[in-house]
Copies of this chain bind each other. A is one copy, B any other.
């Protein structure tokens, strides 16, 4: 399913800018920052504004087509992969790595029937292969 399909399916009008951002998120599962997305798209869309990136990602997040990651203290990170997975951040190089082999934590719900849980994010912190030792 390509960028256009995803946008129309979520009732998001597929403007040039929105398509570009969606396309970027579907081809870069690097959990990019706003600046990284802007810097990458800016050359091909010379009139692009950083505000549009903020607006677009905010809209995408509301509609559930991207994930907001609060794993990085400095910048917001976004993930075009909305399937259930956790994340690891290297304290040294700040890389964010997907952790797919995680057990679903829905067992937790048992203990808190009074809470309505919409989302779960698990963030690991440590050192990646290149940075350890």
CB distance from A116 to the nearest CB of B (A): 4
Q: What does DSSP make chain A's interface, helix, strand, loop or mixed?
A: mixed
Known: A70-B70, A99-B108, A110-B101. A116 touches B120 (CB 8 A): no
CB distance from A76 to the nearest CB of B (A): 8
Closest B residue by C-beta to A122: B122
Interface size on A, residues (CB 8 A): 36
A residues 54-92 touching B (CB-CB < 8 Å): 70-71, 73, 76, 86, 88, 91
A109 to B117, CA, bound (A): 25
The answer to the question of A103 belonging to the interface, with a C-beta cut-off of 8 Å to chain B, is: yes
| Stretch in contact with the other chain, from A1-9, A13-21, A22-30, A125-133 | A125-133
A70 contact set on B, CB distance < 8 A? 70-71, 73, 123
| 10 A–B contacts, CB within 8 A, in A order | A70-B123, A73-B76, A100-B111, A101-B108, A101-B110, A101-B112, A105-B122, A117-B124, A118-B127, A122-B123
- A interface residues, Cβ below 8 angstroms from B: 70-71, 73, 76, 86, 88, 91, 97, 99-103, 105, 107-108, 110-112, 114-129, 132
